[in-house]
Structure 1
Amino acid sequence: MSLTPFDTAPQHGPRPLPLFLALLRSETATSPERRAAALAGLAAYQAARRPRSRRPMPVVARAGRAVLRDYGGAGRPVVFVPSLINPPLILDMPYRRSLLRWLSRQGVRPLLVDWGTPTPQDRAQDVAQHIEDMLVPLLRSIGEPAALAGYCLGGTLAMAAAAAVPVRGLALIAAPWRFSGFGPDAIERIGQLWDGAHETCDRLGLVPMEVLQASFWQLDPARTIAKYERFGRLDPASAAARSFVAMEDWANAGAPLTYAAGRQIFDDLFTADLPGRGRWRVAGAVADPATLPCPTVEFVSLTDRIVPAASAAGLPDRRELRLGHVGMMVGSSAKEALWRPLADWLAGLR
């Protein structure tokens, strides 16, 4: 899920969105100093140097527009499912913060789902069809039951897939399932945004990144502004500044959603909470975390402001962290707090 104020990929020169500027005006209405600091941070981010893009890892399977990328390693396969929102490379960040490359040296063979970029012709493909028509065929293409690991909304999809196809185990990382756990205020704000955007998205056949960004700003608008205030004070050559730029570039570069997937996320997941109420039907069955026929674990951050701990699935093996939604994946403490425990859990699977 994204917290980013730009509407174009970084290599094309990100530009602030009108919705972000409106948020900035609202959050800094009584503090011209904070507004100036946040704008200075935006300018510094736009001017920052970027590392050269890495070549994508090889494709070993395809299902529709989705592909499975192989990160090597000599162990048994583990399929990592990223969110439909933002690119999958949060799992493969630069500056030695790539979970997948690290795991490939720990006796694991990581395989990454890359959802590709939808077109208006894909408008009718909802979240359930992403699972049935792409994720499940990719899992079956491996030729043996793989372990599944899902991050953020990718964990929601991985949970449903684990109920539809045999897997060796399922690991959820900051994954929402009981969407009522976001709280009534956040759900109402997100619902109001969708009410104002769905007609335009219906005409486009896609849900543009701007709509997704703005919806998740509603979860923590103060943080969205404060992080740019802080960035403007950093030395541009510092490790902290480089990491910030890499993270914002990732958050800034997501593909749109199909209209049906966006509608299902906003209406069926957030508003109706079909998964949490045991009413979300995928691949002909209702996905239920209590009846999964495989070992499971979930990593839940008690300080996650994007996917609150109250929205987790409630699996028996629950590992609690105190890192942010993104920090638990790529922060300075991520290796000890998440990477190693995840690798140990995967090593214990049969």
Structure 2
Amino acid sequence: MDSSPTPDLVALAQSVAAPQHGPRPLPLFLGILWRETAHDPDLRRRAFVGLRRYQEAQRPSAPPPAPAIAQVGQARLLRYGVDNERSPVIFVPSLINPPQVLDLAQHSSMLRHMAAAGHDAMLVDWGAPSRQNADMDLSGHVTDRLIPLIATLPRPPILVGYCLGGTLSLAAAMLRTVAGLATIAAPWQFDGFATSDRAEIATLWQEAKPVCERLGYMPMEVLQSGFWAMDPARTIRKYAAFADMADGSDAARAFMAVEDWANAGPPLTYAAARELFEQLYAANASGQGMWTVGGTGVDPAALTCPTLSIRSTTDRIVPAAAAPDLAEDWRFPLGHVGMIVSGRARETLWTPLSQWLCSHGG
């Protein structure tokens, strides 16, 4: 089959380049779509239909924002619960993509679930870095943002870090007294990633580094392209599946909410990107016990507070083998995002995690 674009399909591709919503960067997404559907015209058609539908769909109102109780630089601490004289619980999201995945929709919000369960639940919103933050690396996000936010609280919190937020939370727990620590799909043992994925990420950084250095940051679109490269077939199939979902269904609303989140977000500072890709992904500094933050080596085995590592057995973004080994270990057959927002997340993760927090004073 000739896989070169026909004039009709080129016109269709151009017609879905609407500005309001869409995968970013759209040209790269369309290239992946074309390549992955070269031998499946029906999948190609359905994927284009799903893309157009996603771009044009009306979005429900976002949940009301939680109030900020502290701010350090661009980072804010948002409060969902109320002071109940138990340990506050700070949820620390990744620096990649917005923190709203933990508060995705009114009825699909881990933070609001935790607040309703009685926890004094809080969320770190890292904010958008400015050009002046180009030299703030991952370590700086811990020492100059996360720890000062923790210091505003009247008592030590329990930290719950998601994805890269879990990695940063491990470092914060080494430098500041906390009442407990839980990580969710946190990358730590970077040799636990597939060799092909690490090679793909290394190539991505090598190609993007000169431009990122000049800009002072890594655009979100570069990071998104790396995620797509890990599983391009799934990237296309999910849009084809969206074409078949009923209007207004829970599945359709969930798809749009997750995709809007995945296609949004501020850039990563240049120094943070360099540390992430060169020290962690390439050198596995954390897994080798060589990662230092604030002059202190980060060693999960040295933590004396209660610790819990939650990992997914079906995660392509952070494989189970890449998560840290902590005092307790939970494994779930849900994906990287599914364990946070899927229909099964409440019973599979939210409720057991709430019980674990309660058992440790949160």
TM-score (norm 2): 0.91
Report SS of the residue matched to 2:60: coil
Amino acid at match of 2:354: A
1:54 is aligned to: 63
Q: Is the 8 A contact 2:77 2:125 kept in 1?
A: yes
Runs of 4+ with deviation above 6 angstroms: 12-15
Amino acid at match of 2:201: I
Is the deviation greater in 270-279 or in 52-61? 52-61
Quote how far apart the aligned CAs of 1:55 are. Answer: 3.3
Q: Is the 8 A contact 2:156 2:179 kept in 1?
A: yes
Report SS of the residue matched to 1:104: helix
Listed as ranges, the gaps of 5+ residues in structure 1 are: 1-7
1:204 is aligned to: 215
Quote how far apart the aligned CAs of 1:15 are. Answer: 6.5
- Find the aligned partners of 1:14 and 1:183 in 2 and give their Cα distance: 25
Listed as ranges, the gaps of 5+ residues in structure 2 are: 1-16
- Find the aligned partners of 1:229 and 1:68 in 2 and give their Cα distance: 38
Q: Is the 8 A contact 1:301 1:320 kept in 2?
A: yes
1:255 is aligned to: 266
For the aligned residues, what is the CA RMSD?
Answer: 1.7
Q: Is the 8 A contact 2:184 2:309 kept in 1?
A: yes
The yes-or-no answer on 1:93 pairing with 2:104 is yes
1:17 is aligned to: 26
Quote how far apart the aligned CAs of 1:73 are. Answer: 3.2
Can you list the C-alpha shifts for 1:104-162, whole angstroms capped at 9, x where unaligned?
A: 12121011100000122211111110001000110111121111000111101101110
Matched residues, number: 343
C-alpha spacing 1:104/1:240, structure 2 compared with 1 (3 Å): same
1:4 is aligned to: none
1:277 is aligned to: 288
- Find the aligned partners of 2:146 and 2:193 in 1 and give their Cα distance: 26
The yes-or-no answer on 1:296 pairing with 2:327 is no
The yes-or-no answer on 1:124 pairing with 2:135 is yes
Quote how far apart the aligned CAs of 1:288 are. Answer: 0.7
Equivalent residue for 2:155, pick from 144, 151, 162: 144
Larger Rg: 2
C-alpha spacing 1:326/1:165, structure 2 compared with 1 (3 Å): same
Report SS of the residue matched to 2:206: helix
Quote how far apart the aligned CAs of 1:216 are. Answer: 1.3
Q: Is the 8 A contact 1:191 1:266 kept in 2?
A: yes
Can you list the C-alpha shifts for 1:217-248, whole angstroms capped at 9, x where unaligned?
A: 12211111111110111112211101110111
Report SS of the residue matched to 1:163: helix
- Find the aligned partners of 2:24 and 2:281 in 1 and give their Cα distance: 29
Amino acid at match of 1:107: G
Equivalent residue for 2:200, pick from 189, 212, 215: 189
Amino acid at match of 2:186: A
Percent identity at matched positions?
51
Summarize the alignment of residues 1-350 of structure 1 with structure 2, pairs less than 5 Å apart.
Answer: 17-75=26-84, 76-350=87-361
Amino acid at match of 1:27: E
Report SS of the residue matched to 1:62: strand
C-alpha spacing 1:158/1:140, structure 2 compared with 1 (3 Å): same
C-alpha spacing 1:10/1:279, structure 2 compared with 1 (3 Å): farther
Quote how far apart the aligned CAs of 1:11 are. Answer: 5.2
- Find the aligned partners of 2:153 and 2:278 in 1 and give their Cα distance: 33
Q: Is the 8 A contact 1:9 1:249 kept in 2?
A: no
TM-score (norm 1): 0.94
